[in-house]
A and B are shown apart, each in its own frame.
Chain A
Amino acid sequence: MNNKFDALKDDDSGDHDQNEENGTQKDGEKEKNDRDKSQNSSKRKAVVPGPAEHPLQYNYTFWYSRRTPGRPTSSQSYEQNIKQIGTFASVEQFWRFYSHMVRPGDLTGHSDFHLFKEGIKPMWEDDANKNGGKWIIRLRKGLASRCWENLILAMLGEQFMVGEEICGAVVSVRFQEDIISIWNKTASDQATTARIRDTLRRVLNLPPNTIMEYKTHTDSIKAWEEFHGLVNSGGR
């Protein structure tokens, strides 16, 4: 075992390879970076639905990340590894992106697609995520593309009925399995997390015995830090 990924097999869902800087970065700086980034990617133009398009409840941003082979740890920032693909505001704009992206099942290597509300980074430390958590569903190979599509269509179509609680969704392509997860803002809100779980079962057509795991981001961070401390004795 020579890097933190080995220790995190239990939670290998695309959000743990975070950089040390992220935890200590001041909120103000973070927000500024967020703004800079989104301004760069959208050329300072707000993304709005076009005429005759069907607006979504929220704007969303597609992200893609891939673990750099051989350099998975601290020197490689999570933020540097994660690329914004683009932001959309309508159903039609979503399809324009989605139809020109490969399906998760066709991704190679240790890759993730993230689809988050505009302004929320797919990172534990984002203000919208820091008190949150995620439902995790592990999928055997061959199912990720379809499950991901159903998951994000449910999210974009506001099928979860949990107010503002949803932050985003992730599909993580791994060696022997794929993982989909959906993140929400308030891990302690059991009514919300139960409703998300039930909606997931319905939209993914999961049988009642499918194992679904809820994990708070606090726990994810703790696990990462503990292992990171073991490896580098410096930690964050």
Chain B
Amino acid sequence: MGVAWNPPGTTLPGVLCGRGAVIRRPSETRLVASGVPPQPALSMSAASCCRHPLPQGQTLSRDIPAPAKRLSLPDGVPLPPGDYSTTPGGSVFGTTPGGTRFIYDRKFLMECRNSPLARTPPCDLPDIPGVTSPSAKELRSETNHAHNEEEKLGIGEEAQFDMDI
């Protein structure tokens, strides 16, 4: 139970529902990736973004949805090539022609929360009373308390937010 990003049974445009990384070309790069067929799921038909057609000659290069390639990687497997530490804060696959984007959907991100790697507090977490809890104890999470909150919010909730129950 929770807020659904994608209503069941629909494929929303521009959404890459798979877990893990998707290779995309950033806007700045006009290199054509070879051998990667366009993905029908990303075609422009019924795309919400197309309600607002791009002005001619402008920003079309920002989103080139066709040559997306999905990499399926099991949990815990580092993404290739594994040397991203050399480009902190920058394009992670700076050396890959065409570039890469790490795209994760909500479900995948939520699953990562349960990883042991995700549970210990950062060693440099500042202690701000009422805001952070640097102790090992996890603060109550949105996820764990979603049920309570929904109950508390009651009927009025459906009027504003469709819930995926």
Contacts and interface: CB of A to CB of B under 8 A. Distances in A.
Nearest to B143: A149
17 contacts: A54-B20, A58-B89, A64-B131, A85-B126, A86-B122, A86-B125, A91-B104, A91-B109, A91-B118, A96-B122, A99-B119, A102-B130, A140-B160, A157-B108, A191-B59, A205-B161, A206-B160
B88 A47 contact: yes
Contact of B124 (A43, A55, A107): A43
Bin the interface of chain A by size: 35 or more
A102 B77 contact: no
Interface residues of B, number: 71
Interface of A: 41-43, 46-59, 64, 83-86, 88-89, 91-97, 99-103, 107-108, 111, 118-119, 140, 142-143, 145-146, 149-150, 153-154, 156-159, 161-165, 189-192, 194-195, 198-199, 202-207, 210
Interface in B56-94: 58-59, 62-63, 65, 76-79, 84-85, 88-89, 92
A31 to B, nearest CB: 14
A157 B58 contact: no
B161 A96 contact: no
Contacts of A194: 49, 51-52
A66 B5 CA distance: 31
B139 interface: yes
B106 interface: yes
